[in-house]
Amino acid sequence: MKAKTIDKIATTIIVVFSLLIVAVLVGLLAFILVRGLSHVNWSFLTSVPQTIKAGGGIGPQLFNSLFLLVLTLIITIPLGLGAGIYMAEYAKPGRFTDAVRLVVEVLSSFPSIVVGLFGLLLIVNTFGFGFSLFSGALVLTIFNLPLIVRITEQAFRSVPKEQKEAGLALGLSKWKIITSVLFPVAIPSIVTGTVLASGRVFGEAAALLFTAGMSTPRLDFSDWNPLSPTSPINPFRPAETLAVHIWKINSEGLAPDAAEIAAGASAVLVILVLIFNLFARWFGNVLYKALTASKRTG
Amino acid sequence: MKFKKPLLMFCTLALVAMLAACGNKDEGSQGSTSGTNNDTAALSGSVLAVGSTALQPLVEQVAQKFMADPKYSKIQVQVQGGGSGTGLTQVAGGQAAIGNSDVFAEEKLKDADADKAKDLIDHQVAVVGIAAVTNPDVGVDSLTKQQLIDIFSGKVKNWKEVGGKDQAIVIVNRPASSGTRKTFEKYALGTSTEDIKGSIQEESSGTVKKIVAENPGAIGYLALSYLDDKVKTVKYDGVEATVDNVKSGDYPVWHMSICTRRASLNQKLKHSLITWLPMKYKKVT
Amino acid sequence: MKAMKEGHVQIERSRSGKFQKHHMEDLIGRSYTMLCVGLLILIIVSIIYFVASKGLATFIQDGVSLGDFLFGSKWDPEGSQGTPVFGVLPFIFGSFATSLLAALIASPLSICASLFMTEIVPSWGKKLLMPVIELLAGIPSVVYGFVGLTVVVPFLRDTFPGQGIGIAAGAIVLSIMILPTITSIATDALSALPRGLKESSFALGATRWQTISKVILPTVMPAVLTGVVLGMARAFGEALAVQMVIGNAPHIPRSLFESTSTLTSAITLDMGNTVMGSVHSNALWSMALALMFMTFVFVLIVRVLERRNRI
C-alpha cells in the first residue's frame, strides 16, 4: 500500500513540474505578447526606426533578420550537408573521425561572445569585410554549421539499411546512392532540423553586435542591384537585425517610446520563431509525403 | 569656459563638416571621388563612423540631416556602435573613417599604442553633461562633492547620513573602461574610485536608468539627454544640471564627445574642413 | 554534363567502363565531403589560434602572471589606485556559481518533463510538451534578459533581502534557457530504452515510481548527465541575458542576491570600450580563452559520460 502512495505522490510531482514548465512558457509568451502586440501594426512593421522622435518602426530590421538568415543558409547548407554526409557515409571509425566529431561538438557549444570577438578580429578587421551582412553570415555559419552537420548525419543514419543495399545491388556507385536513394529519404528530417536551427540565427545578438553592426543604412527598396550601397540585398552593407535592435534600444534608446518599441519588436521576434516552428513541422511532413510513398511514423 | 553657440547647432555643424570631408576619402570608405574640394556638390561615396553607443543616436541624427542636404545626397553615411574602443581601433586600423568616443584618442591609446595616436586628429563635436540621478524616493535634492565622494567610495551607506530617508544606498556605476565613468570621477568626484562590493555596474544608459528608477535607494549618473521623471536628478553642490548651466560654466560635470579621424587622410580637404569646423573650443578648467 | 559523362563512358567502354564512371562519381563525392570536413577543422583551428594568440599576450607581452590572473580576486583594469590589477577569480566564481545553480534548478524540472512525456502519458505528453520545449529554446536571449530584468529581478528584490540582482536572478533566467537542452536529451534517452526493461519491472509487481526510480533513472543517468553538462556549457557561455540581471560588480558576492559578474558579462561590458592591443583588452581576450578552455572541458566530460553510457 505504501509503495502505491509513494507512486501517486511521485506521479503528482512529475505532472506538477511538467505543468509548471508549460505555465512558465505560457506566462512568458503572454508577457511578451501582451506588452508588445498593442504596439504592432502594419506601419510599425514597415517603417524605419527613429533615433530621437517617437513612432519609429522596425521595417529594415525585419528585412535584415530574414535576409541574414537566407545568406547564412546559402553558406551553411552546402557545407553542412557535405560534412554531414562524410560523417554518415564515408567516415571510417578511427582517430580522425573521432577528432572531427569532437570538433563538431566543441564548435556547437562555443560561447557566442567568443565567436563574435573572433569574427570582429578576423573577418571584420583583418579580412576587411567591415560591419556587414556578409561578416554576420560568416559568424552565424560557425554556429549553424555543426548543427546542420549533426542533423544531416543523423538523417542519413536513420535511413533503413535495406534501401542502401538495394542501391548497391542495382550496381550504383556510392555517391549515386547517396544523392538519389538516401538523400530523398533524409531530406524531410534535414529540412525540419534546419528550420528549427534557424531560430538561433533570429535570436542571436551577442555575436552580431561586433560583426553585422548596430545600424542600417537608408535602404532603397526599389534598388535591387546587389552592389549598390543602398540596395537592401547588398551583402556587404551593415545591417542591424531585430535581436540587435532590441538590445540597442533597451540599452541606449533615446526615443520616448523606446520601451514600447522594444516590447513590440520582442513580440514580433517571438511570433516569427513560432511561425518557424510550425512551418518546420508542416513542411517536413509535406516533403516526406511527396518524396516517399509511405506515411511518416513517429 | 564660455560657449557662445547653442550646443546642438555647434555639434551639427562640426559633424556636417567632418562628414563632408570624409566623404571624399578612400580609406574606410568606398566609392568614387569626383570633382574638387570646392565643388562639394559632386561628392559621392560612403563614410563609416564607428564607436560609442552613447554617441551613436546623436551621430545618426546628424548623419540623417547631412544626407538630407542635396549637396551631400550622394554620400552614404553609416553609423555603427561597438564601443569607443572599437571605434578607435578601427580608425587607427583604417577600417573606419570616423571613430566616435567620449575620450580623447591619446587617453585611450596609451603606452605601446601611443604612436598610433599621433596620426589621429580629434574633433570635439558635442558637449555632454552628466548628472547624478537617484531613485525618486530617497528624499535627497542636492548632494555636495564630498557627499558624492563618500557615497561612491562606500563611506556613506545609508541615505539618512546625507539628509535622506532611512534607506540603504545602492550604487549603480559604470564599468571601469567607461568614458562616462571617467568623466564623472574626474569632474564630479575629483578622484577615481574602486568598485564597491555589491555595487551594480551597467554600461548602457538605458539599463542604468531602468535600474535606478526601479531599485529603492539607487544612485547612478546619466547623460542629460536621458533624464526624465522616472529618475530624480540631484543638484551638484546646489547647481542644477541643465544645458544652460553647462553652457554658462556653472555646472562642471561634462565631457566632450570626440570624433577621431586619421590625419593623413585629409590632405586635400583641409581647406574646407578648417572653414567649417570651429575648433576653437578647448576645455579650460 | 550528361553528354560528357556519356562520352566518358563510351571511351572507357572497352575496359570496365562502368567501374570507371563509378570511380569518378565517388571521387567527386568523396573529395567534396572531405573538403567540407576540412573547412570545419580549419574554422576551429583558426578560432583557437586567434583567441589564444590574443589571450596569451596578457601573459607574454604584458607580463601578467598566470597565477595572479586566475586566482587574484581584485579586478582593477584601469588602475584606479595606481597600477592595474587583473584578477579574474570573481568572474570565474560567478560563471561557475550561476551555471551550476541554473543546472540545479533546471535538471529536476527537465527530468520530470521528460518522464511526463515518455512514462506518464506517452500518448499525448509529447504533443503537449515538445512544442513548448522547442519554443522555449527559440526565444532569443535578449528577450530572456529583458524579461529577467522586468519580472525576475523585481520579484527577487521584493521577496529576499538585497537588490534582486545577482547570482539568483542570473541562475533563474539561465535555468529556463537551458531547460530545452536537458529535456530533449533526457527524452531521447528515455525513448531509446528497450521496452523489455520496463515491462519486466512491472511484471515483478513494481509500481510506476519504483520502476522509474530503481530501473529507468539509473539506466539513463549517464545520458541525463550529458544533457546537464551540455546545459551548463550553454549557461556558461551565455552573455547578454546574464549581463542584464547579474549586476556586474567584479567581486565575489556575499549572498545570492548581491551584484556579481561572470566571464561573459565582463567581456560584453568592457570589450567595446577598450582599444585592441591594450592590456585591458588583452585581459578580456584571456577571459575569452578561459571560456573556450571551459568549453573543451565540458565537451570532454560529455565524452566520458557517453562512453559510460555505451557500456
| Sign of the torsion formed by the C-alpha atoms of A238, A244, A247 and A249 | positive
At residue C288, φ and ψ (nearest 5 deg) are -60, -40
The grid cell for B87 is 571605434
Beta strands at B218-223 and B120-134: parallel, antiparallel or unpaired: antiparallel
Residue B96's closest CA among B109, B110, B82? B82
Distance from CA of C303 to the nearest CA of A (A): 9
How do residues C258-281 score in pLDDT, each as one tens digit? 889 999 999 988 888 888 888 888
**A229–B76 C-beta distance less than 8 A:** yes
Distance from CA of B218 to the nearest CA of C (A): 9
Residue B98's closest CA among B108, B88, B110, B83? B88
Q: How is chain A split into domains, by residue range?
A: 40-297
CB of C154 less than 8 A from some CB of B: yes
pLDDT of residue B41: 44
Alpha helix (H) residue ranges in C116-140: 125-138
pLDDT of residue C44: 92
Both C225 and C122 in a single domain?
yes
CB of B204 less than 8 A from some CB of A: yes
Specify the fold of A40-297: MetI-like fold (1.10.3720)
Task: Give the mutation candidate from C60, C74, C160, C273 for the B interface (greatest B CB count, under 10 A).
Answer: C273
For residue A74, the surrounding DSSP H or E stretch is helix A59-85
Residues of A in contact with C296 (CB under 8 A): 106
Distance from CA of C79 to the nearest CA of A (A): 24
Amino acid at position A126, single letter: T
The total domain count for chain C is 2
The grid cell for B64 is 540623417
Q: Which residues of chain C have pLDDT under 50?
A: 11-14
Q: Which domain holds residue C245?
A: 85-308
- The domain boundary residue, chosen from C45, C61, C77: C61
Yes or no: say if B234 and B143 are a contact pair by the CB < 8 Å rule: yes
CA distance A242 to A205: 9
> Does residue C72 lie in a domain region?
no
Residue C305's closest CA among C207, C220, C215, C202? C220
**B226–A214 C-beta distance less than 8 A:** no
pLDDT of residue C169: 93
**B89–A125 C-beta distance less than 8 A:** yes
CA distance C247 to B198: 8
CB of B226 less than 8 A from some CB of A: yes
Residues of C in contact with B175 (CB under 8 A): 248, 269-270, 273
CA distance B278 to B270: 13
**B76–A218 C-beta distance less than 8 A:** yes
Q: Which residue of A has its CA nearest to B54?
A: A252
At residue B243, φ and ψ (nearest 5 deg) are -60, -40
Q: Which residues of chain B have pLDDT under 70?
A: 1-46, 69, 71-75, 106, 108-118, 263-285
For residue A64, with 0-12 CB atoms within 10 Å meaning exposed, 13-18 middle and 19 or more buried, which class applies?
A: buried
CA distance A139 to A120: 9
CA distance C233 to C223: 15
Domain formed by B129-255, architecture: 3-Layer(aba) Sandwich (3.40)
**A149–C40 C-beta distance less than 8 A:** yes
CB of B56 less than 8 A from some CB of A: yes
Q: How many CB atoms lie within 10 A of CB C254?
A: 12
**Quick one: pLDDT band at residue A286, thresholds 50, 70, 90?**
confident
pLDDT of residue C7: 52
How do residues B146-165 score in pLDDT, each as one tens digit? 999 999 988 888 898 888 88
For cell 522596425, name the residue.
A58
At CA C287, angle to CA C282 and CA C288, rounded to 5? 95
Full-model pTM? 0.86
The grid cell for A150 is 549533426
For cell 586566482, name the residue.
C71
Q: Which of A26-40, A44-58, A281-295 has the lowest mean pLDDT?
A: A281-295
The grid cell for B46 is 560612403
**Quick one: pLDDT band at residue A94, thresholds 50, 70, 90?**
confident
Q: Which residue of B has its CA nearest to A238?
A: B78
Considering only CB atoms, C272 lies closest to which of B86, B196, B210, namely B86
Beta strands at B45-51 and B75-82: parallel, antiparallel or unpaired: parallel
Yes or no: say if A195 and A272 are a contact pair by the CB < 8 Å rule: no
Q: Is the pLDDT of residue A82 over 90?
A: yes
The residues that bridge with B120 in the sheet, in sequence order, are B262
Alpha helix (H) residue ranges in C192-278: 195-203, 208-210, 217-237, 240-246, 263-270
CB of C147 less than 8 A from some CB of A: yes
**B54–A254 C-beta distance less than 8 A:** no
Beta strands at B98-101 and B218-223: parallel, antiparallel or unpaired: unpaired
Q: Which residue of A has its CA nearest to B51?
A: A214
Both C131 and C32 in a single domain?
no
The number of residues making up chain B comes to 285
How do residues A223-236 score in pLDDT, each as one tens digit? 777 777 677 888 88
Give the ipTM: 0.86
E-state strands within C149-262: none
> Does residue C76 lie in a domain region?
no
Distance from CA of B77 to the nearest CA of A (A): 7
CB pairs under 8 A between A and B: 79
CB of C11 less than 8 A from some CB of A: no
Residue B144's closest CA among B283, B239, B7, B5? B239
Yes or no: say if A298 and A224 are a contact pair by the CB < 8 Å rule: no
For cell 549533426, name the residue.
A150
CA distance A281 to A298: 12
Across A75-102, average pLDDT:
89
The residues that bridge with B256 in the sheet, in sequence order, are B127
3-class state of residue B100 by DSSP: strand
Both C99 and C49 in a single domain?
no
Beta strands at B120-134 and B170-173: parallel, antiparallel or unpaired: unpaired
At residue C96, φ and ψ (nearest 5 deg) are -65, -45
CB of B27 less than 8 A from some CB of A: no
Where b means 16+ CB within 10 Å and e means fewer, A68-97 reads bbebbbebbbebbbbbbbbbbbbbeeeeee
DSSP string, B136-170: TTS---EE-HHHHHHHHTTS--BGGGGTS-S-B-E
CA distance C21 to C160: 74
Residues of B in contact with C269 (CB under 8 A): 175, 177, 201-203
In eight-state DSSP terms, residue B31 is S
CA distance C126 to C129: 5
For cell 539628509, name the residue.
B163
| Between residues C261 and A257, the one the model is more confident about | C261
Both C254 and C152 in a single domain?
yes
In eight-state DSSP terms, residue A9 is H
CA distance A46 to A44: 6
Q: Is the pLDDT of residue A293 over 50?
A: yes
Residue C242's closest CA among A205, B177, A80? A205
Residue A113's closest CA among B44, C136, B204, C241? C241
For residue B181, with 0-12 CB atoms within 10 Å meaning exposed, 13-18 middle and 19 or more buried, which class applies?
A: buried
| Between residues C51 and A294, the one the model is more confident about | C51
Yes or no: say if C202 and C159 are a contact pair by the CB < 8 Å rule: no
- Residue A174's contacts (CB-CB under 8 Å, 6 or more residues apart) are A89, C22, C25, C26, C29
Both C96 and C204 in a single domain?
yes
Q: Give CA C201 to chain center in angstroms.
A: 35
pLDDT of residue C287: 93
Across A85-111, average pLDDT:
87
CATH of B12-127+258-281 given 2.40.50.140, 3.50.50.60, 3.40.190.10, 3.40.1190.20? 3.40.190.10
Yes or no: say if B200 and B150 are a contact pair by the CB < 8 Å rule: no
**A250–B207 C-beta distance less than 8 A:** yes
**C248–B84 C-beta distance less than 8 A:** no
The grid cell for B235 is 543638484
Yes or no: say if B46 and B76 are a contact pair by the CB < 8 Å rule: yes
**C140–A114 C-beta distance less than 8 A:** no
Considering only CB atoms, C269 lies closest to which of B198, B203, B215, namely B203
Beta strands at B120-134 and B254-262: parallel, antiparallel or unpaired: antiparallel
Query: For residue C275, what is the domain's CATH number?
Result: 1.10.3720.10
Yes or no: say if A111 and C264 are a contact pair by the CB < 8 Å rule: yes
Task: Give the mutation candidate from C109, C117, C139 for the A interface (greatest A CB count, under 10 A).
Answer: C139
Task: Give the mutation candidate from A131, A216, A237, A249 for the B interface (greatest B CB count, under 10 A).
Answer: A131
> Does residue C246 lie in a domain region?
yes
In eight-state DSSP terms, residue A86 is I
3-class state of residue A92 by DSSP: coil
Out of A19-33, A242-256, B266-280, C6-20, give the one with best mean pLDDT.
Answer: A19-33
Which chains does chain C touch, 3 or more C-beta pairs < 8 A? A, B
Both C255 and C182 in a single domain?
yes
> Does residue C79 lie in a domain region?
no
Residue B57's closest CA among B221, B185, B179, B204? B204
> Does residue C130 lie in a domain region?
yes
CB of B79 less than 8 A from some CB of A: yes
Q: Residues spanned by CATH 3.40.190.10 within chain B? A: 12-127+258-281, 129-255
Q: Which residue of B has its CA nearest to C75?
A: B195
Instruction: Find the Cα–Cα–Cα–Cα dihedral B186, B191, B196, B200, rounded to 10°.
Output: -10
Residues of A in contact with C23 (CB under 8 A): 173
**C251–B197 C-beta distance less than 8 A:** yes
Q: State how far the alpha carbon of C43 is from the alpha carbons of A115, A122, A124, B54, in Å.
A: 11, 11, 16, 34
